[in-house]
Amino acid sequence: MDIWKKTGYKTGDDLFEETKQIYYNIFADEHLEQLEASLLLLRNKIDKRIITQIDKVENMKAICDAGSGIFDDMMEVYNQLNKTDPLVANPDYVSRYCLGVQIRYRLKLTGSCYVICDL
């Protein structure tokens, strides 16, 4: 009980922090096959011009940092398509596919990937 006095814990205090995040540990030996199947399904639903841009960068280290500009060319094509036909440029499919490609890269490189999703 001395530890409770040292930390200032009082009965009823939470011993954990509640966050608005979900954490995933993803492992190549358990999840890579399913991820590949999901990516194939998404790939068939996304305009080929967008896929072509993603294919150009999918094996580059910078793919893990979306803020690096790695997806700028893809976003340019996406924005052009979205102006002319929003149904062709489905943002849910494109974002899921990009995230899946990033996760696949890490799984193939290290065998695991830790993903934190904000709610």
Express each pLDDT in 26-69 by its tens digit: 999 999 999 999 999 999 999 999 999 999 987 788 888 888 88
- Angle among Cα 69, 28, 30 to the nearest 5 degrees reads 135
Q: Exposed, middle or buried, 42 (CB in 10 Å: 0-12/13-18/19+)? A: buried
Q: What is the mean pLDDT of the chain?
A: 86
Per-domain residue ranges for the chain? 26-118
pLDDT at 86 (0 to 100): 78
Phi and psi, residue 12, nearest 5°: 100, -15
* pTM exceeds 0.85, yes or no: no
Q: Which residue is associated with the tokens 């999918």?
A: 58
